[in-house]
């Protein structure tokens, strides 16, 4: 069990989160503005890695995940979302399935894994970009 200082930090974090959700009127549905901004940045980075930096490893991971992303887009009615948003929806769906203790087929697990690996690589690139250590021209 975490000590009381951690518990207080968690409580404060949740209080702040609740206050933000109330101020942005998203108590029932929606996403915080900060989260939306990060998704936009990740989408720009995704496009940069593919079209400008020509990051071969990322392109390979994206190619492997694309059929699963397209399938999830169709069955989840996310036609207006970009690939990165769809991957986050898929990861959230996996979390919900696990919390509900529902069985995940081997095929679905394979799809989740391909998307998880893609988003992990993108997250590392995002961290590098934000820290200033990413060189967009030399991958």
Q: What is the mean pLDDT of residues 113-120?
A: 98
Quick: pLDDT tens for 36-93.
Answer: 889 999 999 999 999 999 999 999 999 999 999 999 999 998 889 999 999 999 999 9
60 & 101 share domain:
yes
Mean pLDDT score, 29-37: 76
Instruction: Supply the pLDDT for residue 63.
Output: 98
52 lies in the same domain as 78: yes
Under 8 Å between Cβ of 83 and 69 = yes
Residue 139: what pLDDT? 56
What number is the average pLDDT over the span 100-110? 95
pLDDT at 78: 87
What pLDDT, on the 0 to 100 scale, is given for residue 1? 61
Same domain, 18 and 42: no
In a domain, 136, yes or no: no
Name the H helices within 1-139. 4-23, 33-51, 56-75, 83-99, 106-131
Q: How far is CA 38 from CA 24, 57, 127, 137, in A?
A: 17, 22, 11, 22
Residues 25 and 93 in one domain: no
- Whether residues 38 and 4 fall in one domain: no
Are residues 6 and 52 both part of a single domain? no
Residues 54, 15 share a domain: no
Host domain of residue 55: 31-131
How many domains does one find in the chain?
2
Task: Answer yes or no: do 37 and 21 share one domain.
Answer: no
139 domain residue, yes or no = no
Residue 74 lies in a domain: yes
> Is residue 138 in a domain?
no
Residue 137 within any structural domain of the chain? no
What values do phi and psi take at 125, rounded to 5?
-65, -40
Let me know whether 18 and 76 are in one domain: no
What is the phi/psi pair of residue 27, to 5°? -65, -35
Confidence of residue 25 (pLDDT cuts 50, 70, 90): confident
Query: Are 87 and 117 found together in one domain?
Result: yes
């Amino acid at each position: 069990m975490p000590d009381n200082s951690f518990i207080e930090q968690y409580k404060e974090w949740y209080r702040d989160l609740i206050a933000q959700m109330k101020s942005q009127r998203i108590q029932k549905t929606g996403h915080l503005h900060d989260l939306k901004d990060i998704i936009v940045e990740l989408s720009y980075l995704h496009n940069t890695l593919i079209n400008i930096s020509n990051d071969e490893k990322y392109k390979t991971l994206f190619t492997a995940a694309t059929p699963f992303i397209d399938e999830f887009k169709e069955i989840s009615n996310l036609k207006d979302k970009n690939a990165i948003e769809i991957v986050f929806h898929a990861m959230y769906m996996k979390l919900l399935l696990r919390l509900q203790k529902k069985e995940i087929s081997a095929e679905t697990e394979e799809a989740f894994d391909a998307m998880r690996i893609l988003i992990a690589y993108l997250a590392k690139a995002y961290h590098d970009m934000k820290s200033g250590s990413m060189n967009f021209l030399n991958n």
